[in-house]
Amino acid sequence: MDEKKFYVYILSNKHNNVLYVGITNDLKRRIYEHKNKLVDGFTKKYNVHKLVYYEIFEDPVNAISREKQLKDFRREKKVKLINDFNPNWEDLYEKIL
């Protein structure tokens, strides 16, 4: 049986001046929903749909804990995390398909 995966991710907008931290058990589906504005809320309102960072977890408790930690980070710390993982702030969506 395939183990369930959990993802903590950061999205940005076209100009990289808005950041959103989220969690999901299906990263491809969730990013598709953000890109196609299928979910009302912050990302739809502010046009935030560029996947710039993600982490994979086997355990939902660890994923939830990490999401809370990232949400508490100051912007500078999130930017450093993204720069280390994805220096050009490319949209990683195509790479996860």
pLDDT of residue 1: 43
Q: What is the pLDDT along the chain (97 residues), one digit of tens a residue?
A: 457 999 999 999 999 999 999 999 999 999 999 999 998 999 999 999 999 999 999 999 999 999 999 999 999 999 999 999 999 999 999 999 9
The alpha helices in the chain, defined as continuous H runs, are 27-35, 42-45, 60-72, 75-85, 93-96
CATH of 6-96, one of 3.40.50.1100, 2.40.40.20, 1.10.10.10, 3.40.1440.10: 3.40.1440.10
Model-level pTM? 0.95
pLDDT of residue 71: 98
Whose tokens are 């804990």? That residue is 65
